[in-house]
Amino acid sequence: MTTERQAVGAYGERLAERHLVDQGLVVLARNWRCREGEIDLILRDGDDVVFCEVKTRRGGTHGTPAEAIGQAKVRRLRVLAARWLAQSAVRPRDVRFDVVAVLPQPRGAAVVEHLRAAF
């Protein structure tokens, strides 16, 4: 991945985190990694745990950010979430998978769309 793409992704993750925290969620982990992959954000929403995938796109050439999350990514995130839960001391009432789509704008604030229970 190029440095520019990494910077765009990091920017989107910062905006997504700020948006979610402003909505009352509490960050448990950022960029949690294991051998199978990475979860962008893990948060607590009341008694629930939210596993959040952040997608940032600079343009619509390749579709919306949320459209970039295919079935393989969904399956991988579910496996990663199960691994994180098995390793953590957190015992949530429920688990949710959210997506935050970030679209930087040429001028002004980026558009941030939060899709709760996206899959």
Task: Give residue limits of the domains in the chain.
Answer: 3-115
| pLDDT in the model for residue 73 | 94
Exposure letters 56-84 (e unless 16+ CB within 10 A, then b): bbbeeeeeebeeebeeeeeebbeebbebb
Q: Give me the CATH topology for the region 3-115.
A: Trna Endonuclease; Chain: A, domain 1 (3.40.1350)
In terms of Cα–Cα distance, which of 47, 40, 32, 118 is closest to 83? 32
The pLDDT score that the predictor gives to residue 66 is: 78
Task: Please name the amino acid found at residue 27.
Answer: V
Max CA distance (Å), the chain: 43
- How much is the pTM? 0.91
Burial of 39 (0-12, 13-18, 19+ CB in 10 A): buried
User: Could you tell me the two tokens for 63?
Assistant: 């579709």
Determine contact, residues 101/64, Cβ cutoff 8 Å.
yes
Strands (E), the chain: 26-34, 37-45, 48-56, 95-103, 111-115
Lowest mean pLDDT among 24-28, 58-62, 91-95: 58-62
Task: Give the model confidence (pLDDT) of 49-67 as tens digits.
Answer: 999 999 998 766 667 777 8
